[in-house]
Structure 1
């Protein structure tokens, strides 16, 4: 149930105002009874009828005003639960990193939207329907228990009909979810690949793929909606016959025999809407909730995921040693029994033939991958495959940095609080001073850094690494997008810093830059020059 993610005080207020909301129909029914009894048995004066009508109308107005609060609480609960679900799901996706972009995008948009529409809202409505049902039953029993029980007994019949439709609806919901995920991916591919598509004039077949997937998705959605609506129509018809016409017939016979007056019958009939309709609605809402099971199953791991923020490690490197490390992927051994010891503060250039697995080696150091054999020792502790702890020792300069669709400051700090002096120093060392002076830190970089040059994007990645002051800096083709002069300046910045250990993988590097390293390690030969 999604309501467990809402504050208890809000849920309590919702129940209170749901009770007030339910009193609207009771007020109409009870007012009708009193007025009919006064008229049928000629009790009191005409003014009494007017007074009863005025009191009833005034009560309804007060209930209407309370219903504004009721509806506000309802939409606020939906908003609150949605935010919690999005927070938990996004936390899970970012930290687990074992879900594809396609699946993650579908989870955060389509699936959570379906859960909002069909699960959260319907869970809230079930509470309202139950409250209305209970209050109407209590009032009905107090006025005519036998007639109330007759109407009540017949409301059970739609429940048996509802059970016939649960599994077919769940099946069609799963088919729609699968088709929707495929459509989302096709749209994403078409948008991301638009440049290639336009270059080779392939717009028609690419767009056709999206349209065909849209047709399959809409067909699956139509089948799901038709199954839900068909079930609803059958349940309503059964409810009308067995929960209204038949008990009304029995009530008319009892009234004809003098068991009670017209006012009581009309009151129970009026209340019977709240015997029948809530039950019908609840069954329909349960079907809608069940249709979200495929989506809920996918986000459920995120709801139980316990994210523990990394605690700060010492910024001092005492030891980095790779001992007999081997790594095999898809049956192919990239390297075998690799041993290497790095001294604190060393600047090491890592070289190997193309395809050897240099980037994979860097991922092993950070704990993103676990060696098939051997150990990665950091500060006398085995960190093999332990990304949670190991990553705190590393900064990483990627060959293809990721740029958020946000401003320059956010892309440098990643939203974390940093000292202005540290930020200014990182900007200066990374060669971004001119950009900051011209555009400012609030400069919007655009999607994937569309407002920047390749060199500026690379310098932002370097500034990030410098800003967070990790003791080990891994550089994967760190200056490949920079001109020779800027590349040399960046290497001077990185390699003359005595406080950090640098391990760099590079192909495009000048002799002057090569001479700045303390060691050159040929990983395929493990021969230091």
Structure 2
């Protein structure tokens, strides 16, 4: 977690938290000093003492405000670095089989990282102040009378062991809460995504039971987690309170018998009471600390994203791709077997197949996101890696991936680029209306609602062209479009001599099929060439 810290700012927060922790020891001193003035009838010291105390409290109050400002700045910078890093590193771990990827990671980002802020980072600075308060007040008590102070401190040993009894159960409750949060995030995400659909069918309350169950389970898990922390705090408080009155009784006896001055007893009793109370708060903070252990481990366990996209790589020119006797089995069920295919640069290949036959699976196999059960994939006659595939293949999927951002950023995926390069890609993709500055900077609304389906598809194509992808993989990319728009997109792609296209679809009009250099039918037993 150290890499998320601004060291000078973090050090400043540590120092000021330690200084602010002196407030209660000073309070202890002033309280006992009042009784000292009364005992010794030191009238001449009353006014200067009160004025001095007021000045010191003013300084401490100012430092406490400054501490809040510095701690908040620390939390702001830590959260910014941590959340940026978490999203970047999590994006690099996505895999084809991550079915709950969005809901799970969104829940962690919105909920678990907030818990980390409250129960780890902020608690850290609170703990530092409590350590100084505890040491300062108990140190003052020892300075006043060592034997009596040791009696008070001795009775605090047993309660200090209590948090150990609850740490494991607190972590378990926290894990349950995190899991329920993931489920709720998925439920709410589904409902918001389908809001218009539910309204059109007048079924807004149709999933009320599912929503209520998810909310109830999450809130119940949250209550259970907080109740377990509260139980640990109760056990510590009750034990402290019970054992604290035994040394108080001893102090009262010694004061009555004249073996201990009243101001000395007040100093010891008040100092140890504040010290032990601060110690109890330390244990409470430690309980909160324990609740973030799994979250911290998950953050630390994330893989560092690969830098291949930005590091220097040797450009590869695509010549041909060969699939040799490829077979794939999923969940012990054969998807296809003995699949053979070869195509070269400039070819336009169509693979047809009914729904569920494995067309999208084939795309993922070509991208090396899935590994074949049998057979080989050869690029220019050699096996290739997933990263090599990502540098060659552009993707147009069934549902376009669109960001709530400008046209330009949707094409470049946020990378710096000259307007001319983006405009060229848009023009080649059939979107000349967006090639001027106003078009490039036009904002796309949520889910692309202010653009047509054809325009969204063409943005994906422009994206592949901008990134100089030599092969375009189309996974039923035009299935949701009207026939005229679909044909226009096909013609612009299939008549481009510099582009290699592999498209999988369940139905392509005959007029469009004539534009492909080769057509195949995908079956569980392989590929069958289609003839006119």
Is TM (by shorter chain) over 0.5? yes
Q: Give the number of aligned pairs.
A: 521
Moved more, 153-162 or 422-431: 153-162
The 3-state SS of whatever aligns with 1:392 is helix
What corresponds to 1:415 in structure 2?
A: 414
Counterpart CA distance in 1 for 2:513 and 2:344 is 18
Deviations 1:202-253 (A, max 9, x none): 444411321233233333333333333343234223322323x332333333
SS in 1 for 2:451: coil
Distance 1:478 1:301 in 2: 36
1:105 paired to 2:102 = no
TM-score for the superposition, normalised by structure 2 = 0.87
Q: What residue is the counterpart of 1:253 in the other structure?
A: 253
Q: 1:23-49, CA deviations, whole angstroms, 9 ceiling, x for partnerless residues?
A: 212222223444433442245xx3422
Secondary structure at 1:417's aligned position in 2? coil
Cα distance, 1:396 vs. partner? 1.0
Please provide the CA RMSD for this pair. 2.9
Cα-to-partner distance string for 1:79-114 (whole Å, 9 max, x where unaligned): 333334423432343222254133222212222222
Who is 1:147 aligned against? 148
Scaled by the length of structure 1, what TM-score is found?
0.88
Within 2, Cα distance between the matches of 1:39 and 1:309? 72
Contact 2:424 2:435 in 1 (8 A): no
Question: Counterpart of 2:322 in 1: which secondary structure?
Answer: strand
Separation in 2, partners of 1:494, 1:288: 58
**C-alpha distance in structure 2 between counterparts of 1:122 and 1:204, whole Å:** 41
**How far apart, CA to CA, are the structure 1 residues paired with 2:273 and 2:392?**
67
CA contact (8 A) 2:426 2:434 kept: no
User: 2:47 matched to which residue of 1?
Assistant: 50
Measure, in 2, the Cα distance between the counterparts of 1:218 and 1:356: 42
| 1:35–1:230 distance in 2 versus 1, CA, 3 Å | same
Determine helix, strand or coil for the equivalent of 2:304. coil
Deviation at 1:15, TM superposition (A): 2.0
Helix, strand or coil: the match of 2:377?
Answer: strand
Aligned equivalent of 1:64: 61
Q: Compute the displacement of 1:196 (Å).
A: 4.3
Number of the residue aligned with 1:359 = 360
Q: Is the 8 A contact 1:521 1:528 kept in 2?
A: yes
Structure 1 pair 172–479 and aligned structure 2 pair: CA distance change class (3 A): closer
**CA 1:204–1:489 in 2, change beyond 3 Å: closer, same or farther?**
closer
Does 1:73 pair with 2:70? yes
Shift of 1:295: 4.6
Pairs within 5 Å for 1:449-488: 449-482=448-481, 486-488=485-487
Q: CA deviation at 1:395?
A: 0.8
Distance 1:235 1:324 in 2: 68
Query: Within the alignment, does 1:309 sit opposite 2:307 as a pair?
Result: yes
Contact 1:3 1:120 in 2 (8 A): no
Query: Aligned in 2, Cα 1:442/1:527: closer, same or farther, shift over 3 Å?
Result: same
Instruction: Name the CA distance, whole Å, in 2 between partners of 1:205 and 1:496.
Output: 48
Change (3 A) 1:354 1:255: closer
Tell me how far apart the structure 1 counterparts of residues 224 and 128 of structure 2 sit (CA, whole Å).
28
Deviation at 1:316, TM superposition (A): 2.0
Question: 1:403 & 1:513 partners in 2: Cα distance?
Answer: 27
* CA deviation vs aligned residue, 1:349-380 (integer Å, no higher than 9, x gap): 33445543222222111111111122222245
Q: Does 1:262 align with 2:259?
A: no
Q: Is 2:425 the partner of 1:445?
A: no
SS at match of 1:474: strand
5+ long unaligned stretches in structure 2? none
Corresponding residue number in structure 1 for 2:160: 159
Report 1:27-426 matches (<5 A): 27-42=26-41, 46-98=43-95, 99=98, 100=100, 101-243=102-244, 245-293=245-293, 295-296=295-296, 298-302=298-302, 305-310=303-308, 311=311, 312-383=313-384, 386-426=385-425
SS state at 1:382 partner: coil
How far off its partner does 1:519 sit? 3.3
The answer to whether the 8 Å contact 1:37/1:261 transfers is no
**Does residue 11 of the first structure (1) align with residue 10 of the second (2)?**
yes
Instruction: Tell me if structure 2 keeps the 8 A contact 1:155–1:275.
Output: no
**Does structure 2 conserve the Cα–Cα contact (< 8 Å) formed by 1:393 and 1:472?**
yes
Matches within 5 A, 1:503-518: 503-506=502-505, 509-511=508-510, 513-518=512-517
Pairing 1:502–2:496 present: no
Change (3 A) 1:3 1:157: farther
CA distance in 2, matches of 1:348, 1:179: 46
Relative to 1, partners in 2 of residues 1:137 and 1:388: Cα closer, same or farther, differing over 3 Å? Answer: farther
Q: Distance in 2 between matches of 1:118 and 1:133?
A: 20
Query: How far, CA to CA, are the matches of 1:220 and 1:480 in structure 2?
Result: 43
Check the 8 A contact 2:399/2:477 in 1, yes or no: no
String of CA shifts for 1:25-74, please: whole Å, max 9, x gaps: 2222223444433442245xx34221122222212211221222211222
Residue 401 (structure 1) shift: 0.9
Aligned to 1:22: 21
